[in-house]
């Protein structure tokens, strides 16, 4: 039997471990909620895949989370949000669904000179939803957005090579041209990137004395989720049974377990999900 709604879990997913940068804010703001985290690492990266492929994965993962009784879904991935949140909302019209989009509006407010660099995947930066947002915020604020696709960066983070010469070299390749063009604010427009924030800050500090503001929307996403749960009357308030977190992955459970430990210092149960190429999902043996 599925639990009653307030007691039901919140489903959170990303193409891989990037969504843990959002999960950490959700755990901090909503400590009593049961959570399911799905890492689609078997299909990562999403950023260089066609939109229809990303949409198919998003709908398959949505169905997986709904089967597990999810009362709300967080698309903890900019690429998946831009490509497919509309399709997910159309499939589950009554469900609170929160997405992550590059923080152009807070960046335009934070910038002193109106020049903002946007670091994101190719798919995000090519998405119609993103380009519309860019045009609206640019028209409303006069900000100039420099779009920088970061091919290979999410992979590097996915492999766990957070602090390495290769990662630093990639960061320099993507960030230095933006600083040269005068950007004083950088949007971390992929949920993987806050996981290398320390390296990003190091690369910036080595290149310029100017202050550069980094924009990450993870905390705002958790706030929006809390608002929607409260508005729907489905906040979990009972604390007699401790909040549970379960990890699922379409790749190796060892990789997701190490990411939980290395990035968040926690050790939740992690289950492997076998995913077929058509977007269907089969539950692994150790579920």
Active site (catalytic) residues: 77, 190
Note whether 120 and 190 are within 8 A (CB): yes
Q: For residues 51 and 245, is the Cβ–Cβ distance under 8 A?
A: no
Size of the site for ligand DGL (CB under 6 A): 16
Q: How far is CA 46 from CA 71, 84, 182, in A?
A: 25, 12, 30
Q: Which residue is nearest to ligand DGL (CB)?
A: 47
Least spacing, CB of residue 58 vs ligand DGL, in Å: 12
Q: Greatest CA separation found in the chain?
A: 59
What is the chain's percent helix, strand, coil content, to nearest 5? 45, 15, 35
Q: With contact defined as beta carbons under 8 Å apart, do 207 and 179 qualify?
A: yes
| Residue whose tokens read 């159309």 | 90
Looking only at residues 230 through 259 of this chain, which bind ligand DGL when binding is defined by CB under 6 A? none
Picking from 197, 282, 186, 252, the residue whose alpha carbon sits closest to that of residue 16 is 252
Looking at the Cβ atoms of 8 and 214, the one nearer to ligand DGL is 214
Of 9 and 194, nearer to ligand DGL (C-beta) is 194
| Interface map 170-199 toward ligand DGL (x if CB under 6 A) | --------------------xxx-------
Spatial contact of 270 and 247, defined as CB atoms under 8 Å apart: yes
d(CA 75, CA 84): 9
Please give the structure tokens belonging to residue 124. Answer: 């995000």
Nearer to ligand DGL, 78 or 199 (CB): 78
Stretch that binds ligand DGL, among 26-34, 41-49, 170-178, 223-231 (CB under 6 A): 41-49
One residue of 41, 55, 124, 250 binding ligand DGL per CB under 6 A: 124
CB of 18 to ligand DGL, least distance (A): 3
Q: Which of 10, 60, 147, 154 binds ligand DGL (CB under 6 A)?
A: 154
Please report, as residue ranges, which positions from 42 to 101 form the binding site for ligand DGL (by CB under 6 A).
Answer: 44-47, 77-79
Residue 34 or 167 having the CB closest to ligand DGL: 167
Q: CB-wise, 33 or 216, nearer to ligand DGL?
A: 216
Choose the binding region for ligand DGL from 11-19, 66-74, 128-136, 206-214 (rule: CB under 6 A): 11-19
Nearest residue (CB) to ligand DGL, 55 versus 191: 191
Helix (H, G, I), strand (E, B) or coil at 108: helix
User: In the bound complex, what is the minimum distance in angstroms from residue 19's beta carbon to ligand DGL?
Assistant: 7
Tokens coding 3: 């639990």
How far is 161 from 167, CA to CA, in rounded Å? 7
Report the interface residues with ligand DGL, using CB under 6 A: 14-15, 18, 44-47, 77-79, 121, 124, 154, 190-192
């Amino acid at each position: 039997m599925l639990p009653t709604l307030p007691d039901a879990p919140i489903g959170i997913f990303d193409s891989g471990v990037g969504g843990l940068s959002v999960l950490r804010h959700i755990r901090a703001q909503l400590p009593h909620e049961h959570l399911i985290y799905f890492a689609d690492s078997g299909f990562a990266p999403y950023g260089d895949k066609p939109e229809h492929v990303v949409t198919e994965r998003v709908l398959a993962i949505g169905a997986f989370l709904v089967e597990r009784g999810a009362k709300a879904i967080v698309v903890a991935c900019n690429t998946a949000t831009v490509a497919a949140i509309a399709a997910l909302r159309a499939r589950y019209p009554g469900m609170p669904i929160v997405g992550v989009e590059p923080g152009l509006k807070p960046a335009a407010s934070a910038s002193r000179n109106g020049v903002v660099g946007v670091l994101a995947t190719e798919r995000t930066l090519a998405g119609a939803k993103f380009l519309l947002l860019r045009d609206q915020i640019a028209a409303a604020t006069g900000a100039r957005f420099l779009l920088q696709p970061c091919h290979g960066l999410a992979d590097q983070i996915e492999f766990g090579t957070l602090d390495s010469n290769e990662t630093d070299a990639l960061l320099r390749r993507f960030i230095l041209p933006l600083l040269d063009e005068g950007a004083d604010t950088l949007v971390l427009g992929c949920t993987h990137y806050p996981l290398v924030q320390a390296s990003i800050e190091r690369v910036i500090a080595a290149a310029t004395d100017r202050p550069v503001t980094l924009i990450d929307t993870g905390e705002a996403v958790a706030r929006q989720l809390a608002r929607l749960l409260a508005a729907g009357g489905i906040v979990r308030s009972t604390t007699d049974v401790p909040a549970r977190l379960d990890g699922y992955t379409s790749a190796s459970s060892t990789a997701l377990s190490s990411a939980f430990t290395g990035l968040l210092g926690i050790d939740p149960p992690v289950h492997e999900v076998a995913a077929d190429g058509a977007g269907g999902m089969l539950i692994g043996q150790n579920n």
